[in-house]
A and B are shown apart, each in its own frame.
Chain A
Amino acid sequence: DQQVKQNSPSLSVQEGRISILNCDYTNSMFDYFLWYKKYPAEGPTFLISISSIKDKNEDGRFTVFLNKSAKHLSLHIVPSQPGDSAVYFCAASAVVSAGGTSYGKLTFGQGTILTVHP
């Protein structure tokens, strides 16, 4: 069962407009949410995160919104630029303990391909 879902496989936006990428989750134990950006033939790179006790976090053109009651988060990119064209993954983190150790497990969504047209 997929605990983190990105229901839109792709999104196409005009340069200068807003891009809104969406993500839904089911596990109430997630306490941090992250967005990653991935270009072809490269690994994902961290973009922005938000704690579950916040509802908004902003970093330049990127803003993440969290609606805990709806178990929904979104990434807004304003204004969108052609260089933003990439695959965007949302991820959710929860601490997992196993065998005497603990780590922050990341659960990823399927990704959304964003294309920003000049």
Chain B
Amino acid sequence: NAGVTQTPKFRVLKTGQSMTLLCAQDMNHEYMYWYRQDPGMGLRLIHYSVGEGTTAKGEVPDGYNVSRLKKQNFLLGLESAAPSQTSVYFCASDFRNSGRIGGQFFGPGTRLTVL
């Protein structure tokens, strides 16, 4: 099993450009999450999904959109990138909230720089 994978690993964007980050999991997990991690701060939840076709906002959703067309994939989109979105982005998944007890499974991260 590959677990949780993220594409791409690194990306540099110019202000105003758009991009999509892809997260894929092969563990048949219902729940998936997108976090961002900034220096001196913990991981903060951007958006989450409790199943195929459903998404919801987390703590810091502004400037991002998500889609969950297939159970195994969770896409994070930046329509018009801003320097404040420079961060490391992590995707995670778990089986029906089991992550709040046994931990969510995280991908390796995508390092995004917006110039």
Q: Is A85 an interface residue (CB 8 A)?
A: no
| CB–CB A43/B4 < 8 A | yes
Q: Which residues of A contact B99 (CB under 8 A)?
A: 104, 106
Chain B neighbourhood of A44, CB < 8 A: 43, 90, 106
Residues of chain A from 19 to 63 with CB closer than 8 A to chain B in the complex: 32, 34, 36, 41-47, 49, 51
Q: What is the bound-complex CA distance between A21 and B88, given in angstroms?
A: 24
Quick check: B100 and A104 within 8 Å, CB to CB? yes
Q: How far is the CA of A112 from the CA of B33 in the complex (A)?
A: 23
Q: Cβ of B92: which chain A residues have Cβ within 8 Å of it?
A: 43
What chain B residues lie within 8 Å of A110 (beta carbons)?
40-42
Interface size of A as a range: 20 to 34
Interface size of B by CB at 8 A reads 27
Please measure, in the bound complex, the distance between the C-alpha atom of A36 and the C-alpha atom of B105, giving whole angstroms. 10
Residues A106 and B45 in contact in the complex (CB < 8 Å), given A42-B109, A43-B90? yes
In the complex, which of the residues B31, B42, B50, B107 contacts A89, with contact meaning CB atoms closer than 8 Å? B42
Q: Which residue of B lies closest to A44 (CB)?
A: B106
Binary interface profile of A, 49-91, with partner B (CB < 8 Å = 1, else 0)? 1010000000000000000000000000000000000000101
Give Cα distance in the complex from A47 to B103, angstroms: 8
Chain B residue nearest to A51 in the complex (CB) = B101
